[in-house]
Structure 1
């Protein structure tokens, strides 16, 4: 230890610090460890530099789904003619008022949290950025804080690609796009993940000409059958350019020009009055000054944790997007509940088990999935059988007149245990829940076939997919 560093540590140890039972940095999924712990009589500090509620409430899941609901209604109205409903004339969406209403609703919800924290005798709320000043000492708003247990739930933010000319232009990430009050005439979206496809769907459905520029393919993590079906359907709604090698971004006279090489190496240009960049995320861990601690991160900045969500420093845990195991609000809620249960409510040494982590893409068509993809089973050489059934080949599905939609089930060949389930089509995010439970309970093909399904209802498509798998066993 250098003399200078030793003196710094001595000074820090002499400074007055406030001690807590628990400190939580981040008010998204971290909230699972604030009020519940405080209600047990423990002193808790919550540190949050931004609006309370985290990404999901303020700039993610909730405002995006409120906007997408309007997009879905607009899609239904445009599609009404297929159901013999004749619509005369066009309809208008009050874009500015819509975004204002959503933002006001979100802000009101976020602002309602602080008074509750202030009134709770065991909670201290620090509306500042928190960071380590020493291995076991945090600072927030000029105050030094220590705790028996520290939980890092700082989340993540948009990662911006290094495209020449992009920096300094008024492009939007998801954060700005969700509060943008000016409806674009022509929108360019750079990116092909779930954030890009959800936002792009919203703008396209409300009448904005939308062009996607994607470095490789859309929704890469999805099961290949689902991804290919989505890509085909989505290309009917937006201009879709794949395999783009980005060369430059220019902004002049309120117009963006994105220059790229297409899949054949030819130079192409896309122009629009708005640009959304949605090419991934990176964790907020660079604000924590982890170099002053023993907490290790990986090459992308995500905090390393074990199967108890413990970091490489004693008495410090991490959860959520800053860990990067699963980038969903429902997964960090699961992690927070696990930590509360095993550290406070009913202390135990049980590891966290992610048995079936589901996901959904709220675009058009909707996607949902849980468990393994067929690609993953092939890569790991797990023997399997596939059951598949289309929406159109079901009683309820026929009424929907679907152009795209199916359920795909993956079973282990010998035990017939359900390993993965993937759905593309209407109400996919609701339909998948019976299959989440099936994976959680180690259900088999026969368990799915022995259920009684309501007729006519969409889950019959799941049953029909299971029947399709059964045919393979019997043949």
Structure 2
């Protein structure tokens, strides 16, 4: 294995491995450094295996409601929790092997160990045997990702107070669980465990669950989760978790006063923090701010020859953001013409609970606060033939346009498979498509996606199906 490269990437998540592949495609000799498994947290412990868990939960829900579809299932259905976990891990393992194949296909050297950047465009890698080896590159890309945020009131012990990795590998389904935080991680695991029979309580510090979403989306998800039996406490703060007994006793300040909750397991899902400690930033002179590496629009750090992408930088902590940043960073390094900075206001956000959530652009409140006069349209899936036929009438599509010029300011979906629909709006906004043009774009019937056109018709006072 060589010791000198054009590009070395530290970390092989959806930012790191994409950067390595694009660099190799552009003719650069490339290496990637990874201390665990190729694919990083997203592929091994996040995006992919959680979706496998959610699919198992959805199948179980289908079986429990088979009579609604005219199908009789003999006997009691039961979720084999161990088998569900095993399937999820198998999906993750197969995807990691896929990344291994891509590394070989693109002739990228994979270096196992802990990477630490050093002055002079060098990276020191310490292997499992404790031996350190130094490598040099013209360009070094830091893609070290993030990890679960630790809360002072709920220190993670890996047994009773756990984070997402442990939540994916529990040997036994807990009878009860308190989830701290209602972002994507919190509500996705809430659905998985509640659907399989766990009594779930969510405690959220902000006024609404899924607090980054449009307020109408938050209210709709809250309604659905309460119907499932999930207890929700918003405007609430966990002040203590006592693990001295058999289970956990959680103390929280709520609008109704101090409350205590008993549970077998507490899942801390209060966001992520960047992995930037002990990777050589100080020695290399790379600037940080509020726990993130500082970069320009092309991911150059304050030290020439060093770059940073993904969750360790200021952008949204999303896999597709890391991948987009990776390509922009590498193409700028390669000197390709017309490389555009990423528009962080046109990044789709997807949450894979049931019903799913997908959004892009301004929320209604943010658009009004920005001074826009709006045209807002909503179309409920109760009026969608495809949704009714699928037995999934929950949720709606909400679209937001600038009343003056028709600019597509934002869209907010909640319902079955809406994460597969949001890309239409992302592309439309990228192409500066107006509301009038959406009205004239023929959408296929019957589909869930035609609700985008139906909602646009509602925004323009032309609703046909409402």
TM-score (norm 1): 0.89
1:132 aligns with 2:122: no
Question: What is residue 255 of structure 1 aligned with on the other side?
Answer: 247
How has the CA–CA distance of structure 1 residues 442 and 349 changed in structure 2, closer, same or farther, with 3 Å as cutoff? closer
Q: Structure 1 stretch 28-37 or stretch 54-63: which is displaced more?
A: 28-37
Aligned-pair CA distance for 1:443: 0.9
Q: Describe the superposition over 1:110-153 as per-residue Cα deviations: whole angstroms up to 9, x where unpaired.
A: 25645764x57953322111113436332112112221111011
- The answer (yes or no) to whether the contact 1:297–1:304 under 8 Å persists in 2 is yes
Match of 1:160 among 150, 157, 166: 150
Q: Describe the superposition over 1:132-185 as per-residue Cα deviations: whole angstroms up to 9, x where unpaired.
A: 343633211211222111101110000011106766863210111112222111
Question: What is residue 189 of structure 2 aligned with on the other side?
Answer: 199
What is the 5 A alignment of 1:275-424?
A: 275-299=266-290, 301-344=291-334, 346-347=336-337, 350-354=340-344, 356-400=346-390, 402=392, 404-424=394-414
Q: Find the aligned partners of 1:316 and 1:382 in 2 and give their Cα distance.
A: 40
Q: Structure 1 stretch 340-349 or stretch 17-26: which is displaced more?
A: 340-349
Aligned-pair CA distance for 1:444: 0.9
Q: Find the aligned partners of 1:447 and 1:126 in 2 and give their Cα distance.
A: 50
Q: Find the aligned partners of 2:75 and 2:189 in 1 and give their Cα distance.
A: 26
- The answer (yes or no) to whether the contact 2:25–2:106 under 8 Å persists in 1 is no
Aligned-pair CA distance for 1:371: 1.2
How has the CA–CA distance of structure 1 residues 121 and 370 changed in structure 2, closer, same or farther, with 3 Å as cutoff? closer
Question: What is residue 129 of structure 2 aligned with on the other side?
Answer: none
Which structure has the bigger radius of gyration? 1
Question: What is residue 29 of structure 2 aligned with on the other side?
Answer: 43
1:183 aligns with 2:173: yes
Q: How many residues align?
A: 454
- The answer (yes or no) to whether the contact 2:140–2:307 under 8 Å persists in 1 is yes
1:66 aligns with 2:47: no
Q: Describe the superposition over 1:34-80 as per-residue Cα deviations: whole angstroms up to 9, x where unpaired.
A: 23423544322211111111111110000000110011122223334
1:455 aligns with 2:441: no
1:101 aligns with 2:87: yes
Q: Find the aligned partners of 1:436 and 1:453 in 2 and give their Cα distance.
A: 16
Match of 2:421 among 431, 453, 464: 431
How has the CA–CA distance of structure 1 residues 392 and 350 changed in structure 2, closer, same or farther, with 3 Å as cutoff? closer
* Unaligned segments of structure 2, at least 5 residues: 127-131
How has the CA–CA distance of structure 1 residues 398 and 219 changed in structure 2, closer, same or farther, with 3 Å as cutoff? same
How has the CA–CA distance of structure 1 residues 104 and 350 changed in structure 2, closer, same or farther, with 3 Å as cutoff? closer
Match of 2:8 among 23, 34, 37: 23
Q: Describe the superposition over 1:252-299 as per-residue Cα deviations: whole angstroms up to 9, x where unpaired.
A: 34311111222122x321112122110010000113131112211112
Aligned-pair CA distance for 1:102: 2.0
Aligned-pair CA distance for 1:343: 2.6
* Unaligned segments of structure 1, at least 5 residues: 1-16
Q: Find the aligned partners of 1:399 and 1:121 in 2 and give their Cα distance.
A: 45
- The answer (yes or no) to whether the contact 1:187–1:273 under 8 Å persists in 2 is yes
How has the CA–CA distance of structure 1 residues 115 and 88 changed in structure 2, closer, same or farther, with 3 Å as cutoff? closer
- The answer (yes or no) to whether the contact 1:366–1:427 under 8 Å persists in 2 is yes
- The answer (yes or no) to whether the contact 2:7–2:138 under 8 Å persists in 1 is yes
Q: Find the aligned partners of 2:456 and 2:237 in 1 and give their Cα distance.
A: 42
- The answer (yes or no) to whether the contact 1:21–1:147 under 8 Å persists in 2 is yes
What secondary structure sits across from 1:51 in the alignment? coil
